[in-house]
Chains A and B, each alone.
Chain A
Amino acid sequence: VHAVRNYRALIGLSVFQMTCLLIFAYLWKVAAARQGALNLSADDLLWYIAFNECVLIALPDLPDTIEQDLRSGRLAYLLPRPISYLGATFAEGLGTLTVNLMVLGIVGVLFTWARIGSFPFHPLCLIPMAALSLLAGAVAMVFQMIVGLSAFWIKEVSPFNWIWERLLFVFGGLILPLSVYPEALQNIAKLTPFEPILGGRSGLVFNFDLAPFLAVVGTLVCWGLLGGAGLYWIYRRGLRIVNIEGG
């Protein structure tokens, strides 16, 4: 509800998303003549980027929220409540993510469709893709929260957040599918959660099939569980410092 009420931010995000898509639409138009090495056409690539950008831009700024909670001392008020701080922050973020994804998903699909004029996939594929985008966004949020919790030890988390975002760009295959990367980078990317969050998920839409879909779901769930365990462990360690310093 809070995210819907903050419609100005949603307009801003939509404008930003269309800006990014416009850049790539032109970029791929120019590069289209020489993209023989890619399996995807210029139009397909724009769809691929639209699905990537949608999740990327829809992510709430959780590292900043957590940093503010720690800096302002709000955490001290939240801890005695009978709900988990991590759970509440995650649930709040998930709400924002869901609203953002709905708006940006519609804007992204309409914008890309208006530029290209056709769907290179069955429109019904958008339903499982939307669900997968939400799952991917939720997993990304878990890792964002880990970045946010670094505020227990450092003054500003934004430098780590930039690195996390840029790694997501590169190893997620934001503007180019990982298949065109040098082999070493591809191998590194496969060991990270970035690929299923962005490129691995978006690439599914072109030859949509249940088996690869479930494989990406499984990978995301595994990364989500692993990230969640890491998050909880870091949180417990961070709380010890808060106790030692008197909160």
Chain B
Amino acid sequence: VSDVHVRLSVGGESYALPVENVLEVAELGDLATVPGAGGAVLGVCNLRGQVLPVFDLARVFGIAGATVPARLLVAEHDGRRVGLAIEDVTDVGTLPAVEEATDSEFLVGAALDDGHLVGVVDVGRVFAALEREARP
């Protein structure tokens, strides 16, 4: 496991995901909504012939979303693949050590980078939350 992380902005805040969980980043294109699914499910999209569920990451994190997601981050964990709608990817690289503890269930902790707080995402927990959020 490397300590290289993909840095992204979600709901105006900064987060980081381990690079090995990130498959690709693309434009957030057309989605088919899935009526009956939970509110965090934006829909499904066609990723080169595969049907990919897309979640609103800001909503999963509970950030009152003032911003509109424009990019799609394809994440994988435990053989399961999802699209996460985010504002943008800001950087890929090593992260300063995690110093700040947080009480968020989705974060391993937070790192202080150049005076900014970066939430380091616990991918397993986020996927478990997605599973809950998928239902109405």
**A and B: interacting chains:** no
